[in-house]
Amino acid sequence: MLRRALACIALAVVLAAPVAASNPRSEARTQVEFGIVVAMKGLWKEAIFWWERAVALDPTYAAAHNNLAVAYEQQGQFDKAKDAYEKALKLDPKNAFIKQNLEYFKEINDRANRQPPR
């Protein structure tokens, strides 16, 4: 699961469009990059801090919401993860990568929440 999470984060950054250095997206992208560095070290709480800052700087940054969802999922904050995945997909509905992340998330959580037959 850790590998999938890190792959999700790395791909989200690669897919993010480069922008000029003096706008909110650029500043948010810097926060996302800091978050990736710490997430790769397993420091998920710190990654959440950086990605929450990115979302605050640019609430329309789908990749930041996706990364935040991955981190919430890693920390067991499943309601927050679901909300962040859905927000990311709402912002970028054609993004197959975000769709796939949300589908995996729902599948895993559906299995975990099923009651065993009696």
The residues near 55 (Cβ < 8 Å, ≥ 6 apart) are: 28, 61, 64, 65, 68
Q: Two tokens at 56? A: 């605050």
Say what percent of the chain tops pLDDT 90: 70
Give 3-state DSSP helix, strand, coil % of the chain, rounded to 5: 75, 0, 25
At residue 109 the predicted structure's pLDDT band, cuts being 50, 70 and 90, is: confident
- Mean pLDDT over 60-74 rounds to 97
The answer to whether the Cα torsion of 24, 26, 29, 30 is positive or negative is: negative
Does the pTM of the predicted model rise above 0.85? no
User: Is residue 83 packed enough to be buried (19+ CB in 10 Å), middle (13-18) or exposed (0-12)?
Assistant: middle
Domain 2-111 has CATH 1.25.40.10: yes
